[in-house]
Amino acid sequence: MKKEIGLFLVFLFSVNLNADWLDVNMPLGVTDISVKVFGIHMLMFWIMVAIGAVVFGVLFYAMWRYRRSNHKNAAQFEENHKLEIAWTIVPTILLVLMALPASSLLKEMYDHEAEEGGIDIQVIGWQWKWQYKYLDERVGSKPLSFFSNLTTPQEQYEFNQATKTENYLLEVDEELVVPINTPIRFLITSNDVIHSWYMSDFAVKQDAIPGFINVAKTTINKPGIYRGNCTELCGERHAYMPIVVRAVTEEEYQNWLQDHRETAAQLAFLTEREWSQDELFAQGKEVYQTRCAACHQVNGQGIPGFYPALAGSDVVMNDKFKQIEILMEGIRGSQMQSFAEQLNEVEMAAVITFTKLSWDNNKMGSSEIVIPKDIVDYKNVDT
């Protein structure tokens, strides 16, 4: 029934809006809730238009009717109780009438109950990326989890060195993949500061607060790729942590899950196998560019006073164990965070190898590399 009311509101208030006008309007979105939000938005809009027409109509009429040439002597009265009561009561009634549909929709949006056949996804904000954990899907003993990093190259948003591409600052390496027509609960939290997960197409916007879990529920009606942003000023790279959701059919979703489980199984194999320096270097270069270059810079020089140079760093050149430790544990109280959860063993070994072989760091004759097994060993000693 509620769905019908929402759709009716949309129908009522948007039939005569052609496509061009819908472009400047709020997006309609792809969930029942977002459609209802749009309906309420249009209802409020037309109420405001009506109020505007009445108020300005009376105003202009009075200006014309009682213009000076027509009305030399002004009427001398101060209060008009009937009018005052009317202009108090009418807006009160209007406000209550507007509050009714708005609060019942809000109540619906704050429904947190798990539903039969629904899935739970934990969304974790990090400075400056999102992590997604599929709580119902396991890989080994842990939930299926990955990070979503910005892939727009730095040259496009700094120093204006390159032309901006279509999805400028709204593209990531791993999209959040979800099935359509399935109730999804997002359990939203943060690892560091307050972020906010905002997908206007779903009418979902929830703060991600460390130590709290905020819940937002949605059911997506239409397959597609949807893009959103962090909407809580969370530090200097706040603009660089977009959200990309790919909504697919149940079948495609199952295939995607299967692929992910296989990737995890392959990883176990990869850490056992022999690695050449070139392979590690190539993969490490990619990891470095998406994960490290934002701070330590592509040329390894860092930013003096903020981010240390890795080119010529004593740790990078001479202390493989120290570097593994830094990447695994992070450096307390600094922006150098732990990458233990973000990079797998292969990526971790590769990026360390890359930093050891780049920017003349291997000049002193040391071409020692770090292999995935080193990382596995570190983890085993650690636990």
Residues that bind ligand HEC (CB under 6 A): 291-292, 294-296, 307-308, 310, 313, 315-316, 323, 326-327, 331, 334-336, 339, 351, 355
Report which DSSP code applies to 122.
Answer: E
* Least spacing, CB of residue 189 vs Cu ion, in Å: 12
Q: What is d(CA 101, CA 50) in angstroms, rounded to the nearest whole number?
A: 18
* Least spacing, CB of residue 244 vs Cu ion, in Å: 15
Which residues does 61 contact at the CB level (< 8 Å), separation at least 6?
A: none
Of the candidate spans 49-57, 190-198, 212-220, 325-333, the one that interacts with Cu ion by CB under 5 A turns out to be: 190-198
Cβ neighbourhood burial of 46 (10 Å; 0-12, 13-18, 19+): exposed
* Least spacing, CB of residue 286 vs ligand HEC, in Å: 11
280 binds, among ligand HEC, Cu ion, none (CB under 5 to 8 A by kind): none
195 binds, among Cu ion, ligand HEC, none (CB under 5 to 8 A by kind): Cu ion
Of the candidate spans 171-179, 232-240, 351-359, 373-381, the one that interacts with Cu ion by CB under 5 A turns out to be: 232-240
Six token digits for residue 233: 């000023």
> Of the two residues 147 and 275, which places its CB atom closer to ligand HEC in the complex?
147
295 binds, among ligand HEC, Cu ion, none (CB under 5 to 8 A by kind): ligand HEC
Q: What is d(CA 45, CA 53) in angstroms, rounded to the nearest whole number?
A: 12
Six token digits for residue 118: 């629904």
* Least spacing, CB of residue 292 vs ligand HEC, in Å: 3
> Of the two residues 248 and 357, which places its CB atom closer to ligand HEC in the complex?
357
Residue 128 preceded by cis peptide, ω within 30: yes
Phi/psi of residue 207, nearest 5 degrees: -70, 140
Cβ neighbourhood burial of 60 (10 Å; 0-12, 13-18, 19+): exposed
Residues in a beta bridge with 210: 190
Task: Candidates 43, 121, 150, 234: give the one binding Cu ion (CB under 5 A).
Answer: 234
Which residues does 227 contact at the CB level (< 8 Å), separation at least 6?
A: 167, 170, 242, 243, 244, 245
> Of the two residues 197 and 253, which places its CB atom closer to Cu ion in the complex?
197
> Of the two residues 234 and 244, which places its CB atom closer to Cu ion in the complex?
234
> Of the two residues 206 and 323, which places its CB atom closer to ligand HEC in the complex?
323
* Contact predicate 260/252, CB 8 Å: no
Site for Cu ion in 91-150 (CB under 5 A): none
> Of the two residues 144 and 234, which places its CB atom closer to Cu ion in the complex?
234
> Of the two residues 7 and 209, which places its CB atom closer to Cu ion in the complex?
209
316 binds, among Cu ion, ligand HEC, none (CB under 5 to 8 A by kind): ligand HEC
The identity of residue 170, as a single letter, is L
* Contact predicate 241/217, CB 8 Å: no
Task: Candidates 30, 124, 230, 349: give the one binding Cu ion (CB under 5 A).
Answer: 230
Of the candidate spans 45-53, 194-202, 215-223, 339-347, the one that interacts with Cu ion by CB under 5 A turns out to be: 194-202
Six token digits for residue 120: 């739970």
Residue from 306, 359, 354, 303 nearest 327 by CA: 354
Task: Candidates 36, 185, 195, 217: give the one binding Cu ion (CB under 5 A).
Answer: 195
230 binds, among ligand HEC, Cu ion, none (CB under 5 to 8 A by kind): Cu ion
Q: What is d(CA 78, CA 298) in angstroms, rounded to the nearest whole number?
A: 74
Q: What is d(CA 381, CA 215) in angstroms, rounded to the nearest whole number?
A: 37
296 binds, among Cu ion, ligand HEC, none (CB under 5 to 8 A by kind): ligand HEC
* Contact predicate 123/186, CB 8 Å: yes
* Least spacing, CB of residue 326 vs ligand HEC, in Å: 5
> Of the two residues 102 and 293, which places its CB atom closer to ligand HEC in the complex?
293
Positions in the binding site for Cu ion (CB under 5 A): 195, 230, 234
